[in-house]
Structure 1
Amino acid sequence: MKTKAALSAAILSALAIGSSYAAVSSEEAAKLGTSLTAWGSEKQGNADGSIPEYTGGMTKPPANYVAGSGKWVDPFADEKPLFTIDSKNISQYADKVTPGVQELIKRWPDSYRVNVYTTHRTYPQMSAERAAATLKNATNPECKTVSNGVGLSGCVGGIPFPIPKDGYEVMWNHLLRERMPGGFEGRGTNLVVDAAGNLANPQHFSLYSDYPYWSGGGDYYFHSMTNTLAPARDSGNKILLWYPLRYDEKDQRSWSYSTGQRRVRLAPEFSYDTPITPLGGVLYFDEANMFAGRMDRFDFKLVGKKEMYVPYNAYAAVTAPIDTMIGKKHVNPDVVRWELRRVWVVEATLKSGMRHAASKRNYYVEEDSWSIVASEGFDQAGKVFRVLLANTGANYVSGMGGVDFVSSLAGYDLARGGYTVVASQGDPKAYYKPIDKLPANVFTPEAMAGRGVR
């Protein structure tokens, strides 16, 4: 009760401060914390109850979770699918299944399927402090996108656009979705399966990331340092990335370190549709984390909100043993959990005169988490050639006020064949741990050649 009272007081206080200069109307702002959650999702369920009411999310770990282990367990491991969507009945569900997933079913009619489970709204309740910051952003005319959506200015400490007005605002909500203020450390595996169904040598890596936007601000909203552990020929290779808020004024900063060359070099090519070499070229750099980078080559149109079947609460897909998860043509459908969710649909169309391998992309942004949970890319002929599916699960360890999502990503290259699974936790040595604070020098070029992050 105290928590709810504090949250309500924070929301009312922020509304009183910001309403006279509201970027959204006072009527719209008044919905935050009432009919909408503090961060903008609809509290009520849908008409038939297949999407339930939001009641605070999951804030306690399952009984079999071992505290401090970094080993996530599935809270819904005992549940069975409600039904399955496959080549035999896809026509019944076409309006609720993305074009990309429909293409996967069409391509592999005998094996690809979607197992649909009960929808659980697990996303943990936002803290009163962050709720107030979110409302302040919504009602502050200085919190806005700039340069036709390319940059972000004047927003801090909360979701920037809980009541979005265009596609750029939705995409910025994804880029700045709520995270642990101190960041996280982890170890995972990237997997690549070629067109013939052969699994390449897995890339094992360690990763450190932080999110300055959620811990006091700064020019950059995200830092990451990835260190390759195996295969042996690549061990010690590192990639450092900084993503800025003012993309209209600053470039993304990228560095690479190669143990063979023993030097750090700037890597400005790590952007847009440059293939990610360790992933067999199946993903581009702007497909990392479903989307990353500058929004200057596409027009991002907000289509609206829609109920769709997407991967969600997919803890099993994140943590499944590699030999269980990997199939010859696609990820084993039996490890992936799909739920009916409300998603914001954003259509990105290549601007005239701009160059990119994709002519159009669709993004599906889940309403509770502001995470892109699915996307597809269309080639210059208008055919689906890329399908990305995120496997996400709420951080039940951090609880209220420190939210992050443990996740992995499955990406399919339908033009050349083959697929990748990024950040699998299926290896016995894998872990994922939110942490309070990382030393600042972890995310510097000077640290890349050292032993501190090996």
Structure 2
Amino acid sequence: MVRTGALVRLYIMGLAFVVSLTLPALALASEQALTPFGSPAAGNAEGTIPRWEGGIKAIPEDYERKQLHSDPFPQDRPVSVITPENFRKHGARLTPGQQRLFESYPGTFRMDIYPSRRSHALPQWVNEGTRNNARNAMLGKEGNSVENLGPGTPFPHARTGVEVIWNHLNRFRGSFIQVTDTESSVFPGHQVSYRMSHEVAFPPYARDSEVGGANNILLYYTSFLLSPPTHAGGGFLVVDFLDQQIQPRLVWTYDPGSRRVQRLASTTHDSVASLAENLRLVEDTDMFNGSPGAYDWRDLGVREAWIPYNNYRLPLARFSDLLTPFHLNPDHVRWELHRVRVVEGTAKAGSQPVYSKKIAYVDEDSWGIAMMENYDREGALWRLGVSHPLNFYEVPMTFSVADVVHDFRERAYNARNLLNEEPTAGEYDLPIPEAGYFQPARLRQRAVR
């Protein structure tokens, strides 16, 4: 009850735009069980956010493993549409970043609002690990690391902003991923696209280990460029650590021309991301990644907001139809009403990062950052990150099929994780390879020539 009460108190914290809850709603939230992830199972008083009933429990009959996912809600239709003409009437549930999209692109942007489906689900062994973490995991070193971490969400009853961010950083996204996708940067008059293969291993989710993150490893990541031909064969290896104050991120690159592997001397969180055409930073990948230590994180409470969810139809679109100027084609984006944890990150005193402030809107069930607002040093909103997830029910887990970063200065956007026009959707629950698989020397051996 102590943890439940602490979670309920979050509903009355925050900024003026945080949705108010009635006393009966608070009482109901305190009495109902939490989900295995730590969110209230109860829906909202209006019934527009449903009760969590276990998420998607069964794989659709027409789904074949590794194929693009069948929509489990094929009959759903929009219940409302938010347009440039009416968006100001909905200000309580629109974030500043969303309002900026309407203001910047009044001729094209809209939000189709669908029935809310709390579809998130995780394997039972991950849920069991989350219960253990609730008892054992703790922050270390000013919040820059997690100690006593096992497989599962680190802080299902998160009380602080940095605990919420750690839940995002170490949320379950499978154990070992193999997938091919596309990254595109879309400008008003042209596009630049790269097709890549990726492999990601998450040692904290090794099923045969009671202690996650052996040797301080948060994740291993390799990527190889497949097209365009002028870039094909290049590769990256990244090793992220649970405590990046002790061991900062390591990055190696492979150049197919010289056939040499080279370690990069420094790749900081606010370095410009390669292949992104100056539209996002390294830390913008996955909405936010790397060490949380560059910012002071403050929990602003819980609010109801429209966020992309259950975007099963998005990967089925052709690139020529999806990647329209200024933003993804709204015809293929599904928005739903969900509760989010709102967390503000401000640059630590004495530092000079590219972003002075960040506002994260974190889905209460999956702990994934649904949207991230990034502000420049003058305090102006510069970039908006938007994640478009679905439940990969064969695992199960919730993961993005389009991470978009909007750059309002350039009136352009960068989109990653695009499975569109791929023959398969990849695999996400493979056994984690032995550590030697991710050695720098392997980059040259495994590179596509």
Same fold (TM over 0.5): yes
| CA shift for structure 1 position 268 | 4.4
| CA shift for structure 1 position 277 | 2.6
For 2:189, the equivalent position in structure 1 comes to 197
Alpha carbons of structure 1 residues 60 and 47: separation in structure 2 relative to 1, 3 Å: same
**Contact persistence 1:54–1:121 (CA under 8 A):** yes
Alpha carbons of structure 1 residues 322 and 349: separation in structure 2 relative to 1, 3 Å: same
Whole-angstrom CA distance in 2 between matches of 1:319 and 1:332: 13
Whole-angstrom CA distance in 1 between matches of 2:362 and 2:448: 33
**Contact persistence 2:387–2:400 (CA under 8 A):** no
For 1:184, the equivalent position in structure 2 comes to 177
Whole-angstrom CA distance in 1 between matches of 2:256 and 2:372: 35
Alpha carbons of structure 1 residues 49 and 192: separation in structure 2 relative to 1, 3 Å: same
Query: CA-to-partner distance for each residue in 1:297-336, whole Å, 9 max, x for gaps?
Result: 2111110111100111112224422111011221111111
For 2:141, the equivalent position in structure 1 comes to 147
Whole-angstrom CA distance in 1 between matches of 2:304 and 2:123: 23
Instruction: Pick one of 428, 434, 439 that aligns with 1:434.
Output: 428
Whole-angstrom CA distance in 1 between matches of 2:297 and 2:249: 20
Instruction: Pick one of 221, 226, 230 that aligns with 1:224.
Output: 221
For 1:258, the equivalent position in structure 2 comes to 255
Instruction: Pick one of 423, 446, 449 that aligns with 1:451.
Output: 446
**Contact persistence 1:167–1:302 (CA under 8 A):** yes
| CA shift for structure 1 position 81 | 0.9
Q: TM-score, normalised by structure 2?
A: 0.89
Instruction: Pick one of 84, 89, 93 that aligns with 1:87.
Output: 84
| CA shift for structure 1 position 368 | 0.8
For 1:13, the equivalent position in structure 2 comes to none
Instruction: Pick one of 272, 276, 279 that aligns with 2:273.
Output: 276
Whole-angstrom CA distance in 2 between matches of 1:419 and 1:25: 40
In the TM superposition, 1:26-425 aligns within 5 A as 35-65=33-63, 67-127=64-124, 129-140=125-136, 143-181=137-175, 183-194=176-187, 196-200=188-192, 202-215=193-206, 216=209, 217=212, 218=214, 219-399=216-396, 403-425=397-419
Query: CA-to-partner distance for each residue in 1:12-67, whole Å, 9 max, x for gaps?
Result: xxxxxxx9xxxx659779x99961012201101100111101111103223332x2
| CA shift for structure 1 position 249 | 1.3
| 1:450 alignment partner, SS class | helix
Whole-angstrom CA distance in 2 between matches of 1:26 and 1:118: 27
**Contact persistence 2:234–2:447 (CA under 8 A):** no
> AA paired with 1:205?
M
Whole-angstrom CA distance in 2 between matches of 1:249 and 1:363: 26
Alpha carbons of structure 1 residues 318 and 175: separation in structure 2 relative to 1, 3 Å: farther
**Contact persistence 1:274–1:285 (CA under 8 A):** yes
Whole-angstrom CA distance in 2 between matches of 1:225 and 1:305: 36
**Contact persistence 1:319–1:424 (CA under 8 A):** no
| CA shift for structure 1 position 103 | 0.4
Alpha carbons of structure 1 residues 75 and 268: separation in structure 2 relative to 1, 3 Å: farther
| 2:233 alignment partner, SS class | coil
Query: CA-to-partner distance for each residue in 1:348-375, whole Å, 9 max, x for gaps?
Result: 1112211111111110110110100111
| CA shift for structure 1 position 380 | 1.7
Q: TM-score, normalised by structure 1?
A: 0.88
Alpha carbons of structure 1 residues 89 and 225: separation in structure 2 relative to 1, 3 Å: same
**Contact persistence 1:298–1:351 (CA under 8 A):** yes
Identity rate, percent: 28
Q: In terms of mean alpha carbon deviation, does 118-127 or 106-115 score higher?
A: 118-127
Whole-angstrom CA distance in 2 between matches of 1:346 and 1:229: 37
| CA shift for structure 1 position 199 | 1.4
Alpha carbons of structure 1 residues 62 and 131: separation in structure 2 relative to 1, 3 Å: closer
